[in-house]
Structure 1
Amino acid sequence: MVYSRLPFPMMRGDQMTVAHLLSFLAARGHSVDLYTLAVDGDLTGEQSSWLQRNCRTVRIYEQSWAAKLLGLVLGILSLLPLQVSIFRNTKLRRELAASVAAGEYDVVYCYYPRTAPAVPRSIRSTPSTVSFLALQLSQTLNTKRMARNERSGLKRMVYRLETVLMSRYESRVWKDFDKTVLIGPADVEAVREQCRVHGQPEIDNWIYGAHGTDTDKFVQAEQKDVVPGRVIFSGSMLYPPNVQAVLWFVENVWPAVRAAHPDAAFVIQGRDPAASILELDGRDGIWVTGTVPDVGVLIRSAQVCVNPMLAAGGMQNKLIEYMASGKAVVASSIANEGIRAPREALIVEDEPEAFATAVIRLLEEPATATDLGTSARDYVLANWTWEKHFLDLEDEFHGALSAKKRPLGVSNHAD
């Protein structure tokens, strides 16, 4: 497992996915070596012990600001995306290559494109090892949307530059791996488009590989838990797409909801709120919580949950957490892109007036909200548990190995 940041604290969707995948693989009897950078957090003693229990070895590489700056300079010269450049780590790359050359691994699994350059391309011609790139979402699509909705001129320029660099990178990087993992059709099509734009063959080694949610932690709320008139958005409030989504909702939807329900409250739950989010606290029935011990508690207290994403791709953890909690949800089509929930389980609206109307209706019709929430949880239990997706991924590991070891000329398809 090759990763670009520490799996703890599990505050981001990718951290939760990597930690749960490590736990799953260990429980299934696989031996896992984790190669990761000392970025975005410090491990507690308990977290270090957890990693040691679930991994054969844990290799953590320092990534200083000087190293990030050097990587950025070298990356710009080679036209690499900024988010790939700053995670360049020569020691990780060298030690991983040595272990691969020694035949230590059946599978090399790289999570996110940031550390893709660390994985030896030679694996493609190695019959005993397969390489997987968990691209997950199209970063080109993601940064393009972020640029479109960014208010800061400087940040918008950076996102546009990153979109150009990532477009070029995504059109090629998949060719260095045996399999590329993407969450849904929108991401597959976005990468295909980049291939066409840059004159590359269209990606043909993709598999679907999403992630799930903890249905024991996110449980259906009891009626006594619900606070009438409470609307909630939950997510990291330092993450630009979440900030954009909340500001859009507050400016374009919330005034209509408050006009219809003056006592309604909008709770913005999530760690490290940006300054623009903190400014909303206490205004027009808005409560900005900051970091909370258990996000599930406040989610269960909501009468309605919202996810009005304007940017970001792949899948939305917050959305399946809402749904696993049996909540009535109003979301944008972008938010539902990766999860593809049916209309029986989720209301999808993109225009401000329609979004507001849906929220107001759910506040006024508790029975409708309850039915929607029940269907939402049923959908998550059937489609979005961790185990389901990881068992599918494990099958892909075995299938890729079997196909690669098959003698040349033998069909990959059953007769």
Structure 2
Amino acid sequence: MTGVRGVEVYTRSTLYVVCLLEPFLLLVAAAGMAEDPPAPLVAGALLVLAVLHTALSIATLHLGMAPPPERGRPFRVTVALLGGVAAAFVVLALAAVPSLPPPYDGFWYTEDPRSVVLLTVGMFTLGALTPVLRSRPLVVGSLAVAALTALGRVLAGTPGAVGIAVLTLFITAGSAFSFRLSVWILEVVRELEAARDATARLAVAEERLRIARDVHDVVGRALATVAVKSELAAELARRGDARAVDEILAVRALAQESSREVRGVVAGYRSVDLATELAGARAVLTAAGIAVRVLGTVPPLDPPRQEALAWVVREAVTNVVRHSAAGECVLRLEQADGATVLTVGNDGVRAGTPGPAGPGGNGLAGLRERLAAVGGGITTRYDGDRFVLVARVPAVVVPDRPGVPGPEPHPKERA
């Protein structure tokens, strides 16, 4: 599992497992109360609050790590419940959990259960709120937890309040900022993914604008000429001049020519070149955050076959950007069995996402028609999460024309 989804699963699972450590830390406090156990009612309340606090911490993290627009009312309700349970835990710890004075026979955390309970509850409460808290609130929260542990010492008449407060501050702040760092990394990865999608959409939009400008130039000029010639033909017709027929025929010829030009613009027939398309593919894929390798060189094919392969590159790369979560795309040109073979392979196939490879895809059907017109063909296959498109055209070369090199390989590709 790669990309933002992989980072999210790893971050969530790690933080959930850390939250599940809370009951084990509270067992340390329970061990410290073994010689002087609290009343059964108090012990039962502590057990219930421990289970609730752990569950609410995980739920708060789960809802809080969702993008802000998706949190909504359930997140606010969960935060309120977490705060209520934490407050009840603190009150019960201050009222009913003992804090034994030193000297200790063993370690302080086995003989000072009240401080352990206050530290644990404060630490995991702050950790659960890290998706919505920044540095300053986390520091303030850590200071508050340290002050509560010191207060517990003071209320019990136990010395060492300052020492336990400092220790609690370091532990709580370290834990909270560890949580925050994990959440921050997830947020950065999400922003990078959003930027990648925006870049891909921008590349597609720029291509559409280019086509729109070309169509505007062709149609605008043609329509202006048609308007002038039609007005002239109308005026000649009013005068009974036979030249009106010639002008109308000229308008018809102009309309037919403009129609051919528009089809040429939309279909990309203007200077479609395989080497140019490969260079453009590298630029678009790199801008979309996809690692790209272009292997092989452009052979000296005649224009129709080169144009057909150029269209394969354009259509395939467009659909890699729009219909996959690809991390890598490889384009390979080679000669095999008297044919020129273009292979385009990418990972990150999204299950159930329609694309040119899907049943009845118009993009793939169009490519088949183009390649069939020059005696070629196209095949596709899935290899795990990879999609591979193979286009083949007969290697009919142009005499006395040297091979056209493809885009200069990236230094990593040379290795």
TM range (shorter): under 0.3
Instruction: Name which structure has the greater RCO, CA cutoff 8 Å, separation 6+.
Output: 1
> What TM-score, normalized by structure 1, do the two folds share?
0.22
Bigger Rg over Cα: 2
